[in-house]
Chains A and B, each alone.
Chain A
Amino acid sequence: EPEVTQTPSHQVTQMGQEVILRCVPISNHLYFYWYRQILGQKVEFLVSFYNNEISEKSEIFDDQFSVERPDGSNFTLKIRSTKLEDSAMYFCASSLGLAGGGQETQYFGPGTRLLVL
């Protein structure tokens, strides 16, 4: 069964450093997402991406964040200058992108645990 994969599973970085989190969505999916979960808190939406552009972003997704689909398979989240409060589990997800309007099932990867020291 196709699945969303994410690398690395864990990442430790120093405050102020740039990190890139990588995701390989399910191959025929058109909609891609990033969510994060700070320890003990809710899973929060960061950004959605469709047709090579951001379709929606949350207030968390400020100028230090960016997303990219550099090739036909990868979907990346870059944090330019990490802060302590960026420590969280980051989940990538994808959906078919055909039904739209909130009906789609989103398929999640296992997450990348980011720790900023």
Chain B
Amino acid sequence: AQSVTQLDSQVPVFEEAPVELRCNYSSSVSVYLFWYVQYPNQGLQLLLKYLSGSTLVKGINGFEAEFNKSQTSFHLRKPSVHISDTAEYFCAVTTQGGSEKLVFGKGTKLTVNP
């Protein structure tokens, strides 16, 4: 079975500061990796995903993530955050060649302060 751990439940940062949201996964088979964002009163929206190829993946709104197979990590980064990035961020995996089921982490609440 797969599992996803997001170590930080809350991350407060100041506007224009860099941020890293951590995600580690556990799986006995190869996985695909996803980051979703949930703004208040909205559904989950895909930020980016890693399927194969370059381990550095760029997504929407200036976010990027790096897949590290040896450390089983897929940390999300942004060099300079805005107030509008305040949201909850979810890391998720599916198994390659397996089901469509997304397995989620508990989420990280990012709060960007002025």
Chain A residues proximal to chain B, CB less than 8 Å: 3-4, 31, 33, 35, 41-45, 48, 55-56, 58, 91, 93, 95, 100-111
Decide yes or no whether B77 CB sits under 8 A from chain A: no
B18-26, B61-69, B97-105 - the one binding chain A: B97-105
Interface residues of B in 63-106 (CB under 8 A from A): 90, 92, 94-106
Provide the residues of chain A in CB contact with B32, threshold 8 Å. 102-103
Q: Is the CB of B41 within 8 A of A45?
A: no
Q: Is the CB of A108 within 8 A of B45?
A: yes
State whether A101 and B96 are in contact (beta carbons under 8 Å apart), knowing that A42-B105, A91-B44, A109-B43 are contacts in the complex.
yes
Decide: A55 and B100 in contact? CB cutoff 8 A.
Answer: yes
Q: How far is the CA of A4 from the CA of B42 in the complex (A)?
A: 11
Within 8 A of A (CB), among B1-51: 31-32, 34, 36, 41-46, 49, 51
- Decide: B44 and A108 in contact? CB cutoff 8 A: yes
Q: Pull 28 A–B residue pairs with CB atoms less than 8 Å apart, ordered by A.
A: A3-B43, A4-B43, A42-B106, A43-B44, A43-B90, A43-B92, A44-B104, A45-B101, A45-B102, A45-B103, A48-B101, A56-B99, A56-B100, A58-B101, A91-B43, A95-B100, A100-B100, A101-B98, A102-B32, A102-B98, A102-B100, A103-B51, A103-B94, A104-B100, A105-B46, A105-B49, A106-B100, A107-B43
With A42-B106, A101-B98, A106-B102 already in contact, 20 other A-B pairs whose C-beta atoms are closer than 8 Å: A3-B43, A42-B107, A43-B104, A43-B107, A44-B104, A45-B102, A48-B100, A55-B99, A55-B100, A56-B99, A56-B101, A91-B44, A102-B97, A102-B98, A103-B32, A103-B51, A105-B46, A108-B45, A110-B43, A111-B43
Interface residues of B (CB under 8 A from A): 31-32, 34, 36, 41-46, 49, 51, 90, 92, 94-107
Alpha-carbon distance between A51 and B41 when the two chains are bound, in angstroms: 31
